[in-house]
Amino acid sequence: MIDREDMLEITRRMTPARACLARVAGAYMDSEGFEDGSFNIHFLKLSGSEKSKNLEMAKTIPYAKTNVELKEYTFPEGAEKQKSLWTMLTALKQKELKDDALLSVLYELIGENYQSDTDYAIYLFYGAYDVPLKGKDKEWLEGSEQVYQFVICAIAPLVGEYEPGKPEFGFLFPAFANRCSDDSKINVYRAEGTKEQTQLMRLLLGK
């Protein structure tokens, strides 16, 4: 089960003044899953309005209804793990989304498995959050326990030319649990009332 407080702690760092995001990359896909353009840019190079738009999109995933729209899943162990996207997502996190070739492979895999009746956009965000120390009385202390590095994916239908609407699917990798990074798990988002995306979930988890 996901602790709502963990997710709120992340989203509180997703404001223009306190943004913990460093890079945003993505692709525009047609309804059949073929790429129709891509981008990759340092977050600080975005205009003020673009920063706000991207923060809202990224924040949709961790801020979603906990354990209803946003659920926790565990990656399989051993050989089965290699069938999942764990290795690819780990590499993208380590490279801070700076590997366009690897990103292209991910867009292609998503395009082959994501079910959509409309054109859509895939947005990926890389962020790093210095998790502050917390005392037994739950008061914030100086210093940091660890740096939580993460990738957020948001998939949204296009509502205009290269203009994404509200995300319908996405994930936060690795999971953030007990104020720590958990590489064995992933938090997956699906908006209520949207398609279950069974094929993409099988690809994501290697099942």
Number of domains making up the chain:
1
Outline where 14-47 has alpha helix (H): none
Residue type, 58: A
30 is in which domain, residue-wise?
Answer: 4-205
Outline where the chain has alpha helix (H): 4-11, 48-63, 86-94, 100-113, 198-205
| Residues in the chain, pLDDT under 50 | 140
Say how far apart CA 177 and CA 183 lie, in whole Å: 10
Vertex 125: Cα angle to 123 and 131 (nearest 5): 155
Q: Is 196 helix (H, G, I), strand (E, B) or coil?
A: coil
64's tokens = 């979603």
Nearest to 157 by CA among 188, 191, 126: 191
Nearest to 205 by CA among 176, 181, 157, 173: 173
Residue 11's pLDDT is what? 94
CA dihedral 178, 181, 185, 186 (to 10 degrees): 100
User: φ and ψ at 140, to 5 degrees?
Assistant: -70, 140
Contact 35, 108 (CB under 8 A): yes
Residue 16's pLDDT is what? 86
Residue type, 157: P
Residue 138's pLDDT is what? 53
Contact 127, 147 (CB under 8 A): no
First-to-last C-alpha distance (Å) of the chain: 20
Tell me the Ramachandran region of residue 66: left when phi exceeds 0, alpha when psi lies from -120 to 50, beta otherwise.
beta
